[in-house]
Amino acid sequence: IIGSQNVVEAAIDAGVKKVVALSTGKASSPINLYGATKLASDKLFVSANHYAARYVTRFSVVRYGNVMGSRGSVIPFFRKLAAEGKPLPLTDTRMTRFWITLPQAVEFVVNSFDLMVGGELYVPRIPSVTVPDLAEAVVPGAATYEIGIRPGEKLHEEMIAEDDSRRTVRLDDRYVVMPTIAEWGYVPPVGGVPVEDGFSYRSNTNPDFLSVEEMRDLIDRFA
């Protein structure tokens, strides 16, 4: 939280025109302290537009899911276990997650710089995966066993909570959560379609799921 505030103040002092902060699904309806600090960071960056209204700096936030091939990804871990002839541990066979490739994530962030007015929370419209399907895609036919959800871990990933749906619009490639209060000349995104009442963006209710074959193709190319 203090680090986020330092970035806000440094950007304003240096006359930086645009800042896009990177967030995660843990900030939506947080269930542990880490998620709560991520949410506080998101709120700081959005609210910073009030403080920076008389300056040139504008702030927005991007929130996306698991990045395929990133540091700490489960893919190399599964491959290592398979090479050692060991079964793959699955947290929970019901678990789902959003999935995005590293090039897609980078492109999404860069495009957000072009779109932002300040105060938006951008969430990409991306597919979901199930944990068992992911294991099958990485190591076909591998034996698996269930180890249970760790403390503070969610069964399904959430990017937009239902309470935020009243301020959320849909674009072709993303959802945009607009600021609650905007006194810095905020303009809603052109072409944004309001989401339906009661909407939430969760990995288990997402209509777009990757098949094992689709995951395997992406893993071969990007991981």
Taking only the tens place, the pLDDT of each residue in 68-116 is 877 778 999 999 999 999 999 999 999 999 999 999 999 999 999 999 9
Q: Where are the domains of the chain?
A: 2-222
Would you state the pLDDT for residue 187?
A: 87
Would you state the pLDDT for residue 193?
A: 98
Asked if residue 132 has pLDDT above 80, the reply is yes
Would you state the pLDDT for residue 5?
A: 97
Phi–psi pair at 124, nearest 5 degrees: -70, 150
In this predicted model, what pLDDT tens digit does every residue of 169-198 receive, in sequence order? 999 999 999 999 887 778 899 999 999 999
The reply to whether 26 belongs to the active site is yes
Confidence class for position 139, pLDDT limits 50, 70, 90? very high
Phi–psi pair at 139, nearest 5 degrees: -130, 90
In this predicted model, what pLDDT tens digit does every residue of 159-171 receive, in sequence order? 999 999 999 999 9
For the segment 147-161, the average pLDDT, to the nearest whole number, is 95
Confidence class for position 1, pLDDT limits 50, 70, 90? very high
For the segment 112-123, the average pLDDT, to the nearest whole number, is 97
Strands (DSSP E) contained in the chain are 18-24, 58-64, 66-68, 88-90, 96-101, 121-124, 128-130, 144-146, 158-160, 168-170, 174-177, 193-194, 201-202
Would you state the pLDDT for residue 183?
A: 79
Q: Chain-wide mean pLDDT for the chain? A: 95
3-class DSSP assignment, residue 189: coil
Would you state the pLDDT for residue 182?
A: 82
80: its two tokens: 């290592």
The residue annotated as part of the active site, out of 26, 43, 86, 154, is 26
Confidence class for position 53, pLDDT limits 50, 70, 90? confident
Would you state the pLDDT for residue 65?
A: 86
CATH code assigned to 2-222: 3.40.50.720
In percent, the amount of the chain with pLDDT more than 70 equals 100
Would you state the pLDDT for residue 73?
A: 82
